[in-house]
Amino acid sequence: MKPKQTMILLAVVAAVIAGIAAYQYVLVPREKAKHQEEALLFPGFDPAKAAGIEIKRGDTVSALSRPASGDTAWVVVSQGNYPADPEAVKNALDMLKGLKETTPASEEKQSFERLGVDEKGLRVTVKAGESVIADLIVGKQGSSWGTNFVRKPDADNTCLVYENLAGAFDKKGTGWRDKKIFAANADDITGIKLTKTTGPAAGTTAQPVTETMVLSKDKATGDWGLVTHGDSVEPLDQDKVAAVARNLAALSVAEFEKLSPADAGLDNPAMKAEFTMTSGKTYTLLAGKKQESKYYVKRPDRDAVMSVYQYNVTNIFKDADALKPLPGGAAPPPEFDMSNMLPAPPLGQPGPGGMPAPAEGLTP
């Protein structure tokens, strides 16, 4: 073959290879993305643009909003602008973003009631400003868990989607509220002030006794100390104080209570915890009456009365002696290990050391 013919052949082969590559790596992905976009229930939906969510079933309406100031925090408008659970909101909006019309279920209006997508269904509307960017009716669960029948309000066709939309949006009562009491990182806490007030014994005229403990973190070393007189600081067990800080930062609600602060003992709280962050922001927790295994608590800057489990409170409001290192740097006593315990002998049979086991109903 002549050199000129060889060059032409090579050029043709190169052109064919370039064409195949362009088709495989450019045109196919572009076409695939186009079809995927067309299959989306709400093409172009962007969770970042969402500023309001309304969830309605019958006369029950839940409304969430994100302030127009650009704040990323959502609030539950229908419940006094209480902070919304950020993960719950993100999960719900992400579900809408990826929602696809995968399985047609019906194209007849007569099936609306049977599939739960009639006026009694769960209506979800998402807005960006005054513009509606997503609107659908969530109906009954499909034949498998994690699926729902859905319909756009102005459409006759109903489809089955493989997302648990009812679980994401149909939250009862205070389900949209953020159960984390403080948006705080334990490592960023620089100071803790714990105050406990003990009432007088019954039948006495003594005045209540208030005790305050101030814990401070050294900026240079990061070590915690107990502030005693003026600037004097007494060393503390670092792990124990760090545990107090972690418990404060991670404190979560057990229940939102329908009580007034006065009825919950929060007008004159028995305990108060204040902690300061590296940013200078200070959070405060008030703890009032104990009810069974829980304490009533609230933040002074919020109206809601909440309850937390008893161990949450006792793990925060420690006495100073409980936070100090053991004398001589001794390690704490080991926890009692029941795994080495011998099983109890049958009633009436000799136990360890030849001693007979007690008869039923008797104590040794």
The full set of domain ranges for the chain reads: 47-169, 186-328
286: helix, coil or strand?
strand
In this structure, the number of other CB atoms found within 10 A of the CB of residue 267 comes to 11
Q: Which of 301, 289, 300, 241 is nearest to 264 (CA)?
A: 289
Residues in the chain: 364
Query: Residue 322: pLDDT above 50?
Result: yes
Looking at 7-21, 159-173, 292-306, which range is the least confident one?
7-21
**pLDDT band for position 360 (cuts 50, 70, 90):** very low
> What's the mean pLDDT when you consider all of the chain?
83
Over range 346-362, report the average pLDDT: 43
**pLDDT band for position 181 (cuts 50, 70, 90):** very high
pLDDT value of position 232: 83
Q: For residue range 239-278, list pLDDT tens digits in order.
A: 999 999 999 999 999 999 999 999 999 999 999 999 999 9
| CA distances from residue 31 to 21, 22, 38, 41 in whole angstroms, order as listed | 15, 12, 11, 18
Over range 176-183, report the average pLDDT: 95
pLDDT value of position 200: 67
In this structure, the number of other CB atoms found within 10 A of the CB of residue 118 comes to 14
**Strands 189-198 and 271-277, bridge-based pairing:** antiparallel
Per-residue tokens: 241: 């104080």
DSSP structure class, residue 268: S
pLDDT value of position 55: 96
Over range 308-318, report the average pLDDT: 96
Q: For residue range 195-247, list pLDDT tens digits in order.
A: 999 876 555 666 788 999 999 999 999 999 999 877 788 999 999 999 999 99
Query: Residue 30: pLDDT above 60?
Result: no
Query: Residue 12: pLDDT above 70?
Result: no
